[in-house]
Chains A and B, each alone.
Chain A
Amino acid sequence: MTGRAEALLWLAQRASAAVLGFCVLVHLATIVLAVQGGLSAAEILARTQASLAWAAFYAVFVLAVAVHAPIGLRTIAREWLGWRGRSLELTTLAAGIALAILGWRAVAGVVLG
C-alpha cells in the first residue's frame, strides 16, 4: 500500500467515524424511546415499513459501518498476524462488501417486508 492509499484510508475511517458517532446516538435514542411502552416486532415494523426516512438513515448507518470496520480490522490483522499484501487488501474489501450487503439486506427486510 502506498502512503497515498494509507492517507485516504485514514480519512475514510475518520469520516465514517463521524457519521457513526451521529448514527449511534440517534439509534440509541430511538431504542430508549421505542421501548418505553414495551417493544414488539409488530411495533417496530409499523414504524419502519415503507418509511423512506428510516430506510435512508439505516442505509447510511450500514455504509459507515462497512467503511469503518474493515479498515480497523485490517490494521489489527497487520499488527497481530503480520498479514500484509494483496491478500489482506482483498480480504478487507470483501469484508466491507459483505457488511454492506448483510446490512442493507436487513434494512430492506424491515422497510419493505
Chain B
Amino acid sequence: MTQAQDSEPESLRTVQVWRGDATGGAFAEYRVPARPRQTILDLVTWIQRHIDPGLSYRYACRVGMCGTCAMTVNGRPRWTCRTLLGTVAGEGTLRIAPLAHLPVIKDLACDMAAFFDKWRRAEGRFHGIDSVEPEIAVVSPSSPERQAADAGIECIGCGVCYAACDVVGWNPEYLGPAALNRAWTLANDVRDRAGVARLKAVAGDAGCHACHSHQSCADHCPKHLNPTRGIAGLKRLAARAALKGEI
C-alpha cells in the first residue's frame, strides 16, 4: 500500500448488516468510517468494536488461509478478509449477510456442520494401508494424477462455492463442490486405498451426477480452484467403475 492510499480521507458509509438467528432476522443499518482499501472484515469488526459488541461473525487468520470469514457481500459469497470495500461496492450500498445454503447461528455466523459432514460422506479423507508402508511412496510431481490433485488441493474449506452453487439450494442432499473437489484430489492420490468406496459415495443424484457443470463454484472460489473440473473427472471415473462392475 502506498503512502497516498494510506492517507486517503475517511468517509462515512452506510452499511447494511443482517442481524438475527435461525428463526429469522432483518438488515440493520450502520454508519461506518470507510476507506476503499479497507476489507469487508475490517468494516464488520469496526461495527462490533464501536457500535454493537453483540454482533456475531467468524474469522481467524485474516490473511486468506483459514476459510472462516466467508459472508455474502452484495449478493455474492466472498472471503471477507481478502475482499476490499472499493472492489465490491464502489460508492454504492454495501449489504453484508451470512453465507447462503447454511443455517444461521447468529447474525453473520453460519453453522458449517452440514458442509463438513458432506466432506465425510464423500469419503473426503485419506485411507492408507493399515500397516506401515513398506517403502515410502514416490509420487512424481509431473505425473497426471499428481497434477490433477494439485489443481484442487489448495481448498481452504471456506464454503464460498457451496453458497454459490444453485444445485445445493435445490437439493439439500447434494454433496456440493467442495466435498466433491476433495474427493477428486483423493481419487488422484496413488497412495489412497479407498478408490472404489469413494466412487460409491460420490456417485448418484446427491453426488457428482447432480452437478450441472455451470461453474458458479469455480467463478466464486477465492482460491481460483475449479471444482467443476474435478466433478467431471469423478463422473468419468464412476462411469469406468460402473462398466467394470466395481460400483
With both chains docked as a complex, state the minimum distance between the C-beta of A6 and any C-beta of chain B, in angstroms.
Answer: 5
List of B residues within 8 angstroms of A11 by Cβ: 239, 242-243
Would A78 and B203 count as touching, CB distance under 8 A? Answer: no
Q: In the complex, which residues 224-246 of chain B have their Cβ closer than 8 Å to any Cβ of chain A? A: 235, 238-239, 241-243
A38 within 8 A of B: no
Would B247 and A3 count as touching, CB distance under 8 A? Answer: yes
A36 within 8 A of B: no
Would B242 and A8 count as touching, CB distance under 8 A? Answer: yes
With beta carbons under 8 angstroms apart, the residue of B205, B235, B247 that contacts A1 is: B205
List of B residues within 8 angstroms of A6 by Cβ: 203-205, 207, 209, 238
Q: How far is the CA of A113 from the CA of B242 in the complex (A)?
A: 43
B200, B207, B242, B247: residue with the most chain A Cβ atoms closer than 10 Å: B242
Would B205 and A4 count as touching, CB distance under 8 A? Answer: no
Contact with B along A2-15 (1 / 0, CB 8 A): 11101111110010
**12 chain-A/chain-B pairs, Cβ below 8 angstroms:** A2-B204, A3-B202, A3-B204, A6-B204, A6-B205, A6-B207, A7-B238, A7-B247, A10-B209, A10-B238, A14-B239, A79-B167
Q: How far is the CA of A8 from the CA of B245 in the complex (A)?
A: 11
List of A residues within 8 angstroms of B171 by Cβ: 79
Contact-residue bracket for chain B = 10 to 19
B180 within 8 A of A: no
List of A residues within 8 angstroms of B203 by Cβ: 2-4, 6-7
List of A residues within 8 angstroms of B167 by Cβ: 79
With both chains docked as a complex, state the minimum distance between the C-beta of B151 and any C-beta of chain A, in angstroms.
Answer: 22
Q: How far is the CA of A7 from the CA of B207 in the complex (A)?
A: 10
With both chains docked as a complex, state the minimum distance between the C-beta of A71 and any C-beta of chain B, in angstroms.
Answer: 11
Query: Which residues of B come within 8 Å of A, CB atoms?
Result: 167, 170-171, 199-200, 202-205, 207, 209, 235, 238-239, 241-243, 247
Instruction: Return the 10 tightest CB-CB contacts between A and B, nearest first.
Output: A3-B203, A7-B242, A7-B238, A3-B204, A11-B239, A6-B209, A4-B242, A6-B204, A4-B247, A7-B239
Would B205 and A7 count as touching, CB distance under 8 A? Answer: no
List of A residues within 8 angstroms of B202 by Cβ: 3
With beta carbons under 8 angstroms apart, the residue of B199, B205, B241 that contacts A78 is: B205
List of B residues within 8 angstroms of A8 by Cβ: 239, 242-243
Q: In the complex, which residues 1-50 of chain A have their Cβ closer than 8 Å to any Cβ of chain B? A: 1-4, 6-11, 14
Q: How far is the CA of A8 from the CA of B209 in the complex (A)?
A: 10
Q: In the complex, which residues 66-113 of chain A have their Cβ closer than 8 Å to any Cβ of chain B? A: 78-79
Would B241 and A7 count as touching, CB distance under 8 A? Answer: yes
Q: How far is the CA of A10 from the CA of B241 in the complex (A)?
A: 13
List of A residues within 8 angstroms of B209 by Cβ: 3, 6-7, 9-10
Q: How far is the CA of A51 from the CA of B205 in the complex (A)?
A: 43
List of B residues within 8 angstroms of A4 by Cβ: 203, 242, 247
Q: How far is the CA of A7 from the CA of B246 in the complex (A)?
A: 12
- Say yes or no: A10-B235 contact (C-beta < 8 A), given A1-B205, A3-B207, A79-B170: yes
List of B residues within 8 angstroms of A1 by Cβ: 204-205
